[in-house]
Amino acid sequence: MLEMAGNGASAHFGGSFSCIDFLSVLFYEYVLGRAWRLVYSKGHAEVALYSLLGQAKMIEPDRGLKQFQSLLQGHPSRHWIPALTYSAGSLGQGLSFALGMAVCGYQDGFHVAAVLGDGELQEGQVWEAAICAARHHTENLTVFVDCNHMQLTGRIPVLSDLQRLSSIWAAMGWHTRVIHGHDFEEIQDALTWSTLLHDKPKIIFADTVKGKGIRFMENDPAFHCSCLTRAELQAAKQELLS
C-alpha cells in the first residue's frame, strides 16, 4: 500500500490500514477460495484493495496510483479492472448493488460480500437497502462494516456504540455480530458464522483503528487522505517491518 503511493499521489491510508486485516481474510479465503462476489463499497480505501489484487496477480504493474489512464484510479473501476464486480464512487450505493446481486444470484447459489465504512452508514440509501434485504430474507448476503470511528472531519460519535448499532440492525431483521477487526481468529470465526446462518442477511461490525499499525497515523483524521513525505513513507515502512 505504501509503495503504491510512492509516486507522490495522495491515498486513503487511514481507512485502508483499518480494513486490510479483515479484507485480506475475506479476499483470499472467500472471494478467491470460494468464489464469493465482493462489492467493495468503501472504494476510497483504494490501496487496500489494489494491494490484494496485485499480490493475487489479478492486476499487473501499472503507471501508478491515480495517474492518467492508470488502472489504479482513486476509486476502483470495472472500466480499468474488468475482474472487479463493482465500480465504487459515491458512498452509500454499494449495499443496494450487493442486495440486487444477492437476490438475482440466489438461485445460482452464489454469495455476496459487501464492505462498507462506518461513515457510510450515515447515507439514507444504506438503511433503505438494509430494510429491503431483511424483507427478502437475503441469506446469501454478508456485510462487513469497517468501524474505525472516524471520517474525513473527525470522529463519528453517533455510530461509536457498536453494540447499540448491532441491536438496531438485529431489530430490522439481520443476523449481527461485533468483532475486533484486527484479530484474525475473530475475523475467521465471524466468516464461518456467516456461512452457517440462514434465513436472514448477516452483518459484521469490525471494531478497528484508523491507520492501524503506523503510530503516527493511528486515530488521526489528517491521514484520512494524504500525501506522505519521503521521510513519512520510510518511517511507516520501517515500523511495519520491525
Q: How far apart are CA 144 and CA 137, in angstroms?
A: 18
At residue 222, the pLDDT reads 83
* 88: amino acid identity, one letter: A
Q: What are phi and psi of 190, to 5 degrees?
A: -65, -40
CATH of the domain at 152: 3.40.50.970
Residue 164 lies in domain: 3-241
At residue 95, the pLDDT reads 98
Q: How far apart are CA 35 and CA 9, in angstroms?
A: 32
Contact status, residue 131 vs residue 99, Cβ threshold 8 Å = no
Question: Number of structural domains, the chain?
Answer: 1
Q: How far apart are CA 230 and CA 242, in angstroms?
A: 18
At residue 145, the pLDDT reads 97
Residue located via cell numbers 445460482: 108
At residue 221, the pLDDT reads 83
CB neighbour list of residue 75: distance below 8 Å, 6 or more residues apart: 43, 44, 46, 87, 88, 89
Environment class of 221 (CB within 10 Å of its CB; exposed 0-12, middle 13-18, buried 19+): middle
Q: How far apart are CA 130 and CA 95, in angstroms?
A: 8
Contact status, residue 237 vs residue 211, Cβ threshold 8 Å = no
Q: What is the pTM of this model?
A: 0.93
Separation of CA 41 from chain center: 7
CA distances from 5 to 55, 151, 166 (A): 16, 20, 35
Q: How far apart are CA 123 and CA 180, in angstroms?
A: 24
**What is the residue-level pLDDT of the chain in tens, covering all 242 positions?**
888 876 667 888 999 999 999 999 999 999 998 889 999 999 999 999 999 999 999 987 666 888 888 888 889 999 999 989 999 988 899 999 999 999 998 888 889 999 999 999 999 999 999 999 999 999 999 999 999 998 877 777 666 789 999 999 999 999 999 999 999 999 999 999 999 999 999 999 999 999 999 999 998 888 888 888 888 888 999 988 88
CA-only gyration radius of the chain, Å: 17
Q: Write the DSSP symbol of residue 8.
A: S
